[in-house]
Amino acid sequence: MTAKPAQQAGADVFANLKAVIDALKAPINTGLNQEAANANLQNVIATGIRQFSNSLDNVLTVRSSVGSRLNEVDALDTIGENRALSNAQTLSGLQDLDYAAAISEFYQRQTALQGAQQSFMQ
């Protein structure tokens, strides 16, 4: 059983898990190569652990990226809601006219304008 270096291995968690399981299931040859077989098994397990760590780092990086995007979407949603509320208030101010107050203000301004015109003519 041979192992690839962790930085060159793919991010496939299940393939990594299968490689570690296969290494653990393979019998260790007893004989002259006992030390080499033990070293190879330890290398496969250590590489598998490093690959799992790399895979976890990838998952956390993607999760962080998605979280940042969700925060941006939430912020844009809040801005949109605030803008809609402001627009509704402005529209309400334009449509919901107090006719008595508007007529009273109109006559006051008309009287002031007529007074200003008369004083200017003199």
Instruction: Return the pLDDT at 74.
Output: 96
Distance CA 27, CA 41 (A): 10
Q: How many of the other CB atoms lie within 10 Å of CB of 44?
A: 19
Q: Is 1 inside any structural domain?
A: no
Instruction: Return the pLDDT at 81.
Output: 96
Give 34's contacts (C-beta < 8 A, 6+ positions apart). Answer: 28
Instruction: Return the pLDDT at 9.
Output: 52
Instruction: Return the pLDDT at 34.
Output: 76
The helix-helix angle for 34-95 and 13-25 (nearest 10°) equals 160
Residue 116 parent element (H or E): helix 99-121
Q: Is 44 inside any structural domain?
A: yes
Instruction: Return the pLDDT at 16.
Output: 87
> Per residue in 58-103, pLDDT tens?
889 999 999 999 999 999 999 999 999 999 998 888 788 788 888 9
Q: Is 66 inside any structural domain?
A: yes
Q: Is 117 inside any structural domain?
A: yes
Say if residues 76 and 63 touch (Cβ distance below 8 Å). Answer: no
Q: Is 58 inside any structural domain?
A: yes
How many domains, the chain?
1
Average pLDDT of the residues of the chain: 85
Q: How many Cα neighbours within 13 Å face the side chain of 72? A: 6
- Give residue 21's domain range: 6-121
